[in-house]
Chains A and B, each alone.
Chain A
Amino acid sequence: MLSCREETELMSQALDRPLSFGERFQLGLHLMICKGCRATEKHLLFLQAATRAWRENHDSKHVPPQPNQGETP
């Protein structure tokens, strides 16, 4: 059985690479019994969603409004 610290390493890696079946299985088991790690998993997923939102706000997806558009009465 892995420690919470090692489980958080797996949770973090799950955001960067596909986990093996064994890794997913034992992470799943641990999450069933560990409230702190369940909260942590949610936090990490939120961080991922937040950075995605950050990228969308700052990156090229948003094109500035064209001059002479959208301002006509």
Chain B
Amino acid sequence: MYGNENDRPIFKWRNMDISMIPNELSAILATLRPRLLRFARLQMREDAAAEDAVQEALLSATLHAAQFQGTAAAATWVFAILRNKIIDEFRRRSRQPLADMDIEQERGWEEALDNQFDARGHWTAQPAAWMEPEAALEQKRFWEVFDLCIMALPAKPARVFGMRELLGMETEEICKELDISSSNCWVLLHRARLGLRDCLSRRWFGEN
């Protein structure tokens, strides 16, 4: 991998003739790159995997340069490819056994969720309403906390939540891609959401 972000070429040119790429398109792709990276990083949680997926999506766009009419088409194309790459990677990872460290993390996290309820399933501490949550969406710092909270989810719930809410997939599709049952999917989504709620409550909305 490249050591420094600035050292790396924008595209892996392989055997391509650079003159094939219209200047306008390569300028568009270069401006898209940071956003593609943010999009991929939050979901793949590994910089190297995210970088690779973005490079491949950009390369594919340059190879199909002739088909695009205007910026919107190029951006849509690149994002569609990146989405597919992320889903491929999720599918691959879901077939691999979890590392011991991840199992540990998941166990601790589930315990914390369980502690929100008593033995009869009632709140141990009633969740309180958040003050002006919509205003948070306008604040840059909120989105940093939002990213942190998503990153803090264990691998499995993070994957399903990412596919459902960040990629906007239907649960049926997610179950098919990851080869899990819909009830398993709903359980993971429920836990991910309660975990995120808990994280945002503590780290942004100022509860204890």
User: Interface residues, chain A, CB within 8 Å of chain B?
Assistant: 2-6, 8-9, 12-13, 15-17, 35-37, 39-40, 42-44, 46-51, 53-55, 58-60, 62-67
Known: A5-B121, A17-B186. 5 other contacts (CB 8 A): A16-B164, A16-B189, A43-B197, A44-B193, A63-B75
Dominant secondary structure of chain B at its interface with chain A: helix
Q: Report which of A37, A44, A53 forms a contact with B137, defined as CB distance below 8 A.
A: A53
Known: A35-B126, A39-B127, A47-B196. A60 touches B121 (CB 8 A): no
In the complex, chain B residues 71-117 whose Cβ is within 8 Å of any chain A Cβ = 71-72, 75-76, 78-80, 117
Q: Is the interface of A mostly helix, strand, loop or mixed?
A: helix
Band of interface residues on B: 35 or more
Q: Which residues of B contact A40 (CB under 8 A)?
A: 127, 197
Smallest beta-carbon distance B10→chain A, Å: 14
Q: Assess the A50–B137 pair: CB atoms within 8 A.
A: yes
Given the complex, which residues of B lie within 8 Å of A48, measured CB to CB? Answer: 165
Report the bound CA distance from A4 to B194 in whole Å.
Answer: 12
**Interface membership of B190, Cβ < 8 A:** yes
| Bound-state Cα–Cα, A3 to B164, Å | 26
With A35-B126, A67-B24: A54-B146 Cβ-Cβ less than 8 Å: yes
Q: How far is the CA of A49 from the CA of B71 in the complex (A)?
A: 27
The 8 Å CB contact of A13, one of B128, B136, B186, is: B186
Contacts of B166 in A (CB 8 A): 51, 54-55
Query: What are 10 A-B residue pairs whose CB atoms fall within 8 Å in the complex?
Result: A8-B190, A16-B186, A39-B127, A39-B130, A43-B197, A44-B197, A50-B146, A53-B137, A55-B165, A64-B71
Contact residues in A for B201 (Cβ distance below 8 Å):
43
Map CB proximity to A onto B178-195 as digits: 1 under 8 Å, 0 otherwise: 000000011101100110
